[in-house]
Amino acid sequence: MADGVQISLLAGAVAAGLLMPGAKAAAAGPTQLTISHSQKTVDFLPLWIAADAGYFKKHGLDVTVRYLPAQEGIPALLTGQVQVAGVGASDAASAFAQGAKFKLVATLTPVYTFQFWARADHASAAGLKGQRVGITSTTGSLYSGTLLALKQLGLTPSDVILTPLGGAVNVNSSLIAGSVVAGASHPPATYQFQRAGMVDLVDLPKSNIPSVSAGLWVTDSYLQAHRDIVQNFVDAIVEAQHRERSDRAYAEAEISKQFGVKDKAELDFTYDFYVNEILAPEPMPEAAQIRGDIDALAASNPKVKDLDVASMFDQSFVKNAAQQTAK
């Protein structure tokens, strides 16, 4: 992580207590929350469903959803500018290794979502050697997924030129344009890769490797002071994810709205991937999910190896929400 982000994280840890909302919302109105998400991907679809289908409102919340890359979202979480940050466990672990403290309260994607695609003329381990491979950064879940894919191909990171491009959208467009020869991605982008004749070299979801590509994190201090608000938030997310699984038409309409996908075959391709290969019955955070990302990241960031994983998540909110839903 860049030096500027390290400084922001340390400063945020000091300032969090000063900037955090100090009192619960008045009973007369909804509680205002700002939630960030680190990538513009279908991983975070339950956030938009919860907003647009009225689940946040049902649970007394007035929510603003913002896009903030993890390098901005985590400092914003620590300083109270957002109350919930949607980031992967790889970025979270990198922040924990610097002294940050916050907890995973819901896991939207409990396994690696990434497929590793290559242009047809480089679709082999030998063809990738010495070539540019797109990544978002050297801390995120896409990076961890890329490292795992390379390992499965018998390659090391030094065998290729890992090229940070910022967001997942940039990785996708660069692969289509040919400025990189391979990259990790998932639907709907991979539908276009398939149509362009690219090759899916490594399909990580089929390996069912635990991960948190998209998780929802809250600081320990906010969680302790506002457990009722966090519970209301998780209740809404659980309902939204159930809607995603059970209502194809609504979920596909939301994907179309958020990502501009109009082709029905592409929408079906995307929906089937997430519902059949990714989503769990409940967004339950698990130690194995975080450990999976830490293990992938440890080769490039040894500081994360000895993190106390048990201190990084709280299952109680999803358990409570599931009990309420079952009634």
Domain boundaries, the chain: 3-112+210-326, 115-207
Q: How confident is the model at residue 258 (pLDDT cuts 50, 70, 90)?
A: very high
pLDDT at 271 over 60: yes
Percent pLDDT > 90 in the chain is: 81
- Which pLDDT tens digit goes with each residue over 34-51? 999 998 899 999 999 999
> Cα–chain-centroid distance for residue 92?
10
Sheet holding 115-118, edge to edge: 161-164, 132-135, 182-185, 115-118, 199-203
Q: How far is 211 from 192, CA to CA, in rounded Å? A: 25
Are 293 and 212 in contact by the 8 Å Cβ rule? The answer is: yes
Residue 326: other Cβ atoms inside 10 A: 6
Q: What is the pLDDT of residues 188-216, one digit of tens each?
A: 999 999 999 999 999 999 999 999 999 99
Q: Is the CB of residue 82 less than 8 Å from the CB of residue 53?
A: no
Task: Give residue-wise pLDDT tens across range 88-120.
Answer: 999 999 999 999 999 999 999 999 999 999 999
Residue 58's H or E segment, with its range, is helix 55-58
CATH of region 3-112+210-326: 3.40.190.10
Average pLDDT of every residue of the chain = 90
Three-state SS at 200: strand
Greater pLDDT, 297 or 287: 287
End-to-end alpha carbon distance in the chain:
45
Higher pLDDT, 142 or 124: 124
Using the predicted structure, report yes or no on whether residue 17 has a pLDDT greater than 70.
no
Evaluate if pTM is beyond 0.75.
yes
Superfamily of the domain at 115-207: Periplasmic binding protein-like II (3.40.190.10)
